[in-house]
Amino acid sequence: QIMDFKVTDIAKFLNGEIIGDKNIRVSNVSKIEEGKPGTLAFLANLKYENFLYSTNASVVLVNKDFVPKENINTTLIKVDDAYQAFASLLDLYMQAKALLKTGIEQPSYIDTTSEIGKEIYVGAFAYIGKNSKIGNNTKLYPQVYIGDNVTIGEDCIIYSGAKVYSDTVIGDRCILHSGSVIGSDGFGFAPMENGKYKKIAQIGNAILEDDVEIGANTTIDCGTMDSTIIRKGSKIDNLVQVGHNCEVGESTVIAAQSGMAGTSKVGKNCKFGGQVGLAGHLTIGDNVFIVLNQVLQNQ
């Protein structure tokens, strides 16, 4: 069970219109084709419309302009956008769930030189280094590592096992999933005459602006001398590599197993399918869609 709401409260939250029984309560969500009594589903894609007439879901969100072709046994809530409304309900649930996590569990370590905000959660075995700042309502789950001189904003969620290297800057409302690594060294090595390689010190940092989400086991390298930047609103999937000195523009989405070599720059509102690769020093403009398995190289 993830919630227990009256249909009237849901309609009020979504600014929707109830068609049917106004006394129903729901305690979970479901797919419309697998709907069960006491659950809420949604219909956004009309190719699933036939399931509406047979679903056992108690409540279904539909678009305001939807007109049923047959009799309906379930209660409808008509909203501007059923898919976005459903997402808003799930977001409300996640926010309520996050509020349950507060306090500092032990054992954990917070250096005395660091500052932590109000209503923070620090899970067991988490570590916060020197001179770092953690904003209000941010949640650090067990086994999170935060290095020295890190700044993390408000209302962030950093899941178990994520690592944030020193000097990283993270904005408000960011999410880091388990296994993600932010600010690790860029891949910089100078070839020597003896055939060996000398490591080039990576003294820059990584910056994540507001509302960025980083998927599980994704790595964002720090800059060599300046910053690797993920601009606000960008969403990066699992198993993605962003090399040193790269920049990802606002509201860009990058699907799993993609990679960006050093100093590549991507504009805003771009979309990368899975396994897209960018060679170093490339510039991608705004509103570009790159499909699955495309590899762009310098010409």
Catalytic residue among 244, 246, 252, 284: 244
- Write down the pLDDT at residue 2: 53
In the numeric block, which tokens belong to residue 112?
């005395």
What per-residue confidence (pLDDT) applies to 37? 94
Residues 6 or more apart in contact with residue 155 via CB below 8 angstroms: 135, 136, 137, 138, 172, 173
pTM to 2 decimals?
0.79
Residue type present at position 186? G
Is position 177 annotated as part of the catalytic site? no
Per-residue pLDDT for 296 more than 90? no
Amino acid at 86: F
Residues 65-78 have a mean pLDDT of 94
pLDDT digit string, tens, across residues 77-125 = 999 999 999 999 888 777 777 667 889 999 999 999 999 999 999 999 9
Q: Which of 69, 2, 21 is nearest to 11 (CA)?
A: 21
